[in-house]
Chains A and B, each alone.
Chain A
Amino acid sequence: MIRTYSSKEHIEQLNVAVKCENVTVEYKGRPNLLNINMEVPSGVLLAVLGPNNSGKTTLLKTIAGVEKPTAGNIYIYSRPTHALKNDVAYVPERNHVNWDFPINLFDLVLMGSYNRLRRAEQPHKKDKIAVKEALERMGLEKLAKKSICDLSRGEKHRALIARALVQDARIYIMDDPMVAADEESINIIVEVLQELRAKKKTVIVSHHDFVTIPRYFDMVALLNVKLLGIGKTEDILTEENFEKTYGMSAGIIKNIRLYMDESHDRTK
């Protein structure tokens, strides 16, 4: 189903990459997500924050089309998720991947080109070039022949993102892409996220490190089964919102504010 709009409305809709309308996802009768209404503009870096079991992974999977909402609708560039073709690249959480799988890094990254290939069609030269470029961008070119089980934690994160880069989608959805990664990997991943934004791609990331959020992300969504707030980072990261989401003391937010002020001074 493709929605039609008046020209003004249509232009507005084109600027909305992801739209959730009353989205509820239930598991065994218990809601993982309840009545989520949000719009993510095109070309932004959005961090999804929330405590454990708040539904972050469920939200990302539902937007990516991996899980179906129990109720409500999700539109990607004003099209329903089941009508998508190559619009969304999904990076699963590192722990949700079978790293004993017998493939090397090159093969893993090459999987990003599979949706462009027919059943028995072999990958083309341009696909292999795209893999080499993605590996170089993620700083993994020397490890191309290495078995994926021999990669470090940070390299595994980078490998999954490299696969998504080869997919060349309009929206990138990443589940905890920096958790427990080394500093070198985090720096590379952040650079890549910013390059994606520069290319007008939309990136939605679940993230845990509160301190780095203002530095890395344009927008924040606070989630605890319900959507508690979404907007510009500086508007959403308030003590009140934090207490609502995490139920914890406002001390943390003061530290983040302090950090934001310091980094603001440094840029000046």
Chain B
Amino acid sequence: MIELSDTFIFDTMLKSSSLLGLSAGMLGVVISYQRRSIEINALAAGSFVGILVFYLLAGVGIYLSSYFSGEIDKYVFSFTGSIFGALFMIILLNILYKTDRLHMHIIQSLMTAVMLGVGITLITYIRQTGGALDSGIEIYLFGETTSLNSEEFDFLRIIAVAAVVLLLLYFRRLKIVIFNKDIARTTHFHVSFYYTLINIMVICLVAFSIKIMGVFLTVAIFLIPAVTARLWSNRLFIIMILAGVFGAVSGTLGTIVSGTLGNMTLGIAITLILAVFFLASLIISPYKGLAGKLIKYMR
């Protein structure tokens, strides 16, 4: 449970979770229509491994800094590791897609499993040998209510706002690019530019999401809002706005639940709130709701 003295931390986390929910929810709509849903899992796993590798490097850094009487911020190492891990994974996935040997979903699942295996091995190694470094690595498994410091929050705020602005600014062009690449190319839009833009946004948001949601549940904040919003509308723009709202509200409520209960990690709390939204929508939504279908069937 968060004490009164921790109000600043709680406030920071509340804003972080809702901003992440807003931007990841909106971006999740784009990702899901690119049929790259499972890729988020692979990117989170890659990011996780990146963090752990940089933790090990930080260990060396801290040793050296004590030798030279300097200071190295562990957070800088973990965030850089997270970005590099996700970037490495996206490059690797794109190389593997081009080989055309396996279906992209198989490649994504395979790489997720491999990276999680490597990550668990590294985390075991760090726990056995890390000493002081050992503290805090659990937050990357399921997220943590006090995981972001104020510098990280500032950075998240910039990334999240930039992602939302870019998604709205380029909405029409992104719509045609994700609808059909060939039509977009003959309309003379630079498809590779928009793909790169989407990838940059995904990498940055996954890097933050892994601290708030954890490696296993990062996919939830990207995809559950998108799927829930789809149950309420048949228009892409409304779906994107609704997904952002579902993500932001879930982030806020999840932080409050996690902070109040104390024994529930942030990732799990947000995912459970998202699941409640999804189940409620599945039952009561006007387009595809089960209740509506049942009433129609009864008539």
Residues of A within 8 A of B (CB): 28, 61, 64-66, 84-86, 88-90, 92, 96-98, 101-104, 107-108, 111, 114-115, 117, 119-120, 147, 163, 167
Contacts and interface: CB of A to CB of B under 8 A. Distances in A.
A147 B179 CA distance: 14
B242 to A, nearest CB: 11
A53 to B, nearest CB: 16
Nearest to B181: A66
Contacts of A88: 186
Nearest to B186: A90
B25 to A, nearest CB: 15
Contacts, number: 71
5 contacts: A98-B179, A102-B235, A102-B239, A115-B189, A167-B187
A103 B235 contact: yes
A28 B98 CA distance: 10
A96 B182 contact: yes
B173 A114 contact: yes
B286 to A, nearest CB: 13
Nearest to B235: A102
Given A101-B236, A104-B234, A119 B179 contact: no
Interface residues of B, number: 24
Interface centre among B182, B186, B188 (most CB of A within 10 A): B186
Contacts of B187: 111, 114-115, 167
Interface string B160-189: 000000000110110110111011011111
What 4 A-B pairs come out closest when comparing CB atoms? A90-B186, A115-B187, A147-B234, A66-B182
Contact of A111 (B179, B182, B235): B179
B182 A61 contact: yes
Contacts of A104: 234-235
B40 to A, nearest CB: 19
A103 B175 contact: yes
B37 interface: no
A64 B179 contact: no
A97 B188 contact: no
B33 interface: yes
B230 interface: yes
Nearest to B29: A102
A89 B179 contact: no
B186 A114 contact: no
B199 interface: no
SS of B interface (majority):
helix
Contacts of A102: 33, 230, 233-236, 239
A102 B183 CA distance: 17
A68 B267 CA distance: 45
Contacts of B100: 28
A119 B183 CA distance: 17
A104 B236 CA distance: 9
B179 A103 contact: yes
B188 A101 contact: no
Identify the interface centre among A97, A102, A167: most chain B CB within 10 Å of its CB: A102
A89 B169 CA distance: 25
Contacts of B234: 102-104, 147
A115 B189 CA distance: 8
B186 A89 contact: yes
Interface string B64-90: 000000000000000000000000000
B235 A98 contact: no
A117 B236 contact: no
Given A98-B179, A114-B172, 15 more contacts: A64-B182, A84-B188, A97-B179, A102-B230, A102-B234, A102-B235, A102-B239, A103-B175, A103-B234, A111-B175, A111-B176, A111-B183, A114-B187, A115-B187, A119-B170
A163 B235 CA distance: 18
Which has the most chain B C-beta neighbours within 10 Å: A61, A84, A103, A167?
Answer: A103
A101 B182 CA distance: 15
Contacts of B186: 64-66, 88-90
Contacts of A89: 186
B36 to A, nearest CB: 13
A263 to B, nearest CB: 34
B169 A90 contact: no
Nearest to A121: B172
A86 B185 CA distance: 11
Nearest to A116: B187
